[in-house]
Every structure is written in C-alpha cells, then in structure tokens.
Amino acid sequence: MSKEKIALFTIFGGTGDLAQRKLYPSLFKLYQKGYLKEHFAVIGTARRPWTNEHYHGVITDSLASLNADPATVAKFAGHFYYQSHDVTDAQHYVTLKQLSEKLDAQYGLQGNRIFYLAMAPNFFGTIAQHLRSENILTPNGFNRVIIEKPFGHDFESAKELNDQLTATFNENQIYRIDHYLGKEMIQNISAIRFGNNIWESLWNNRYISNVQVTLSEKLGVEERAVYYDNSGALRDMVQNHILQILSLLTMDQPVEFTEKDIDVEKVKALRSLRPLKPEEVATNFVRGQYAADGDVKAYRNEDKISPDSNTDTFVAGKVMIDNFRWSGVPFYVRTGKRLADKFTRIDVVFKRPIVNIFNHDDVRENDDAATSLAPNVLTINVEPTEGVELRMNAKALGQGFATTPVKLNFAHDAAATANSPEAYERLLHDALNGDATNFTHWKEVAYSWKFVDVIQKYWDEHTPDFPNYRPGSMGPDASDELLRQDGHEWIYKE
C-alpha cells in the first residue's frame, strides 16, 4: 500500500518563526521520504501582503540548511500557495474556502484538511469559529486542527478556547501539539520504563530518592518578545513540556500502549499532583529573570521588553505526587533562558544503600543512607545527546578494596540521531495518520493549568526582585537551595 498521505494543509501564521523554522522543513522531509508526493497542497496565510513567488522564496530559504536538490525544492515549493488576510476578517475565510476547493480539485486531495494554527493562542477561537461559520470543513474527507502550545493562558482561557474548538471540531479532530512529545528520548521514557523489568520494579518511592527534570536553554528571548513577555517560563515551558514529561515519568502502566489508555494514565498522574496552597508557593517554586553580562543584554533590555517587566525567564520547582507509588518523593523541575547550555535531561536519583559494608565508619546513627556510596542515578539525555546513562558503584581498580562511582552509557550515534525524524516532522506525520497518541488531550491540559495557575496567581500578586541570575549560570541561588533544604542537590550543576 502506498505510504503517500493526501491532504490540504492550511497554516495560519504562515509567515511566522515556527512555520519557517519548523513546519516547512518538516513538511519537506515528509516529501523527501515519500509520505507527501503529488496529492498535497499547502495554503500559507497571514496579514503580510506576500505574492506566491515571494512565498516560494521564503519556503526555499527555510530549507537552505538541508542542502537539498534545488529541483526537488522547487517542485515541493510549487505545492504552496499564499493568501494574505487577517484571521479576524470573515471575508478572508470566503476566499480561503474558494482556494481550498480549487486546490482540492487540482491535486485530488479527497476533501482531507489539516488546519495548523501557528500563531498566538488568543486567535485560536476566532479561527475555529470562522472555519465553522464559513463551512470550510469538508463532509467527505478528514478535518483535523493542530493547535500550538500554550493552549490558552490559564485554566479559564483554556476552557473557553476548548469550548470554541469543540463547537467546530470533535475531540478526535483536535491535535494539541506539544513538540516535546515528538522527541525521540521523551518517547523512549515509556520504552525504558515498561520494556525493562529492572526499572519498573524499582520505579517507586521505596527505591527512588528524588527525580530531576531540567530543560535548559542558552538563548535569550530572541525575536519572540511580544509572545514571551505575556507568557513567561512557567506558561511557556512548565505548564506543557515539563508537566507532560512528569506525567510520562510517573504514570502507571497503561492497559495497552494506545492513545486512549496512555491518556487515561497521564490524566491520573496529573490529577495526583499535590496542588499548592498560595502560602506554599514561595517555599516550593523559584522564579528568575536573567541579568546583563558583558555584551549579553538583560531581559529587561531586550527589544520590545518593558524595562520594568516582571516576566519570569527561569523557573525551578518542587512537585509532590500524592499516590501510593510516589508519596514522599520530590520531583524537582527547572527551566530557563540564558542558562549555562542548551540541554534537556531527566535524572532519576535512587536511594543509597542503608549500610555501607565496605566502610563501617560510614554507619551512623539515624542516617538514612551510607553517604560514602554515590547514589545510583539513571539519566535520560533528551537533547543534544540522545541516550541513557546509569551511575553505579563498583570496586576501584588495584590493590585493596574501595568502591568508586562508574557510569554505564548508551547514546545514539550522531548519524542515527541526524536521520531520525525531528519532533515536528514526527508529529505532522502522526497527524496525517490520524494518530494523536503523542499529542496532549483536554483533561491533561486542564489539570496542568489548574496546577500552574496557583503559582502564577501568587507571583502576579508579589513583586519579584529581578533580575536575579547571571547569564551562563543555572539560575538563581534559590534554585539550589530548593534541593539543599531537603538534603539533595542538582545532579547537573554548572
């Protein structure tokens, strides 16, 4: 059976950063791999008054880093059509419907439509309402809408947006994208956990001391100031990516590895997050904003950022999960811009042995572990390295007997990593196949916002002392104190 997928893509936000950096290259890779052939077309739409010719130039430029055959690129770009209009303008959708029907006939698209909303969330409801009112969805093919994160701004706006979307689309037509779920090693969490008896039997509060999730970025806010200053790191990275990763790390085993069964278990995990009371926020969550350092601008001095902005560019937090499996285990999360390096990693820190038979001096009263033995740590490296490390204790080489920490290490080689699909390519392919396994679902989004809203509300009511961390560090000192107060420390330290 041909692997060719047939569809008309309509990208709202076709002139934007995400479309150019992620969507066009991903669609091209699907084209190169034969998943898209002749029977596909793309309508890019935004307000800028571009011509098709200019649009094809933008598409070509967005593929430059792929060093692809120019003739192939030109043929691919020929499937793209630009329409300039404002999504709040009803007439835009009348002309969009006419163009959609023309391209459907021209390319034989069987009425299959994928609408990608690659623009600020406050427009998502407007677009969904117009798609319905102007009858742009088709009766004879599939209709799917891909919604970028953050899905809303808080629980209330997310609920309103979801109601607007479900007035137009069924739940199984809504693809809430969180591109971290398309990353190889995030998908690997379930394989590691449920594919190996060694881990699942230890994956609980009897053996695990604490879990650490770090999404570190070296870049600053770059060209996205307008979006980011209204978002902040808590909404931009914690409400979605980090809580999604936490749900995969902590969920119970699904009955089957299917979209529905995985969603059931992720929702159970997110429902088990211990909600914070307002008076608990300050001792469990840390916020930061990067300062200036040499020729690196402070956040408040970035283009289009107000000089008195209190937007958080860094978050560290301690999350507790109240269920049988995880009660008592702290989950430390952190993310930020202008940190020491660009990487994403998960560190699962196991409890040390209670007794160190190799060093009787180490046995102390009321000590919960033999401190001279290093803790076992399972590290899942998500990016830029893709792989798994295990730290354990072994005998030190040579005469006598002493223990020493050693590391078992698996990493995909660079060639394998380079050839594996990038997150957006993988998720666009899943959407073409109607597979929403690696997308978020409404209840997951709802519980994530409910958890985050308490923190954001408390921060909105209390003025921070910003800026408070040096670019190139791993955030404010309070982030280290968050673990130190529990007798722990970050496995990755600057």
Ligand X SMILES: O=C1O[C@H](COP(=O)(O)O)[C@@H](O)[C@H](O)[C@H]1O
**Binding footprint of ligand NDP, residue count (CB under 6 A):** 20
Distance (Å, whole) CA 307 – CA 129: 37
For residue 370, the minimal CB distance to ligand X (Å) is 37
For residue 148, the minimal CB distance to ligand NDP (Å) is 4
Residues belonging to the binding site for substrate are: 179, 183, 217, 236, 337, 342
Regarding 236 and contact with ligand X (CB under 6 A), the answer is yes
How many CA atoms does the CB half-sphere of 251 hold within 13 Å?
23
Give 95 or 372: the residue with its C-beta nearer to ligand NDP.
Answer: 95
The yes-or-no answer on residue 429 being catalytic is no
Distance (Å, whole) CA 97 – CA 134: 8
Residues belonging to the binding site for NADP(+) are: 47, 86-87, 149
Give 408 or 411: the residue with its C-beta nearer to ligand X.
Answer: 411
Q: Name residues whose C-beta falls within 8 Å of residue 72's C-beta, 6 or more positions apart in sequence.
A: 31, 32
Taking CA 397 as the corner, what is the angle to CA 395 and CA 399, rounded to the nearest 5 degrees?
100
Q: Name residues whose C-beta falls within 8 Å of residue 113's C-beta, 6 or more positions apart in sequence.
A: 7, 8, 10, 100, 136, 137, 138, 141, 142, 143, 144
| Chain length of the chain | 494
Binders of ligand NDP in range 188-207 (CB under 6 A): none
Regarding 224 and contact with ligand NDP (CB under 6 A), the answer is yes
Give 103 or 248: the residue with its C-beta nearer to ligand X.
Answer: 248
Binders of ligand NDP in range 296-325 (CB under 6 A): none
Regarding 378 and contact with ligand NDP (CB under 6 A), the answer is no
Distances from the Cα of 132 to the Cαs of 62, 137, 167, 494, in angstroms? Answer: 32, 7, 8, 51
Regarding 154 and contact with ligand NDP (CB under 6 A), the answer is no
Q: Which two tokens stand for residue 317?
A: 């937090």
Regarding 184 and contact with ligand X (CB under 6 A), the answer is no
Q: Which residue has the tokens 């902005």?
A: 309
Give the range of 46-54, 158-166, 193-201, 468-476 binding ligand NDP by CB under 6 A.
46-54
Distance (Å, whole) CA 130 – CA 73: 33
Binders of ligand NDP in range 5-44 (CB under 6 A): 13-18
Distance (Å, whole) CA 110 – CA 112: 6
Marked catalytic residue, from 56, 130, 241, 412: 241
For residue 357, the minimal CB distance to ligand X (Å) is 43
Catalytic residue annotation: 241
Contact residues for ligand NDP, defined by CB under 6 A: 13-18, 46-48, 86-88, 118-121, 148-149, 224, 227
- Point out which residues bind ligand X (CB under 6 A): 179, 217, 236, 344
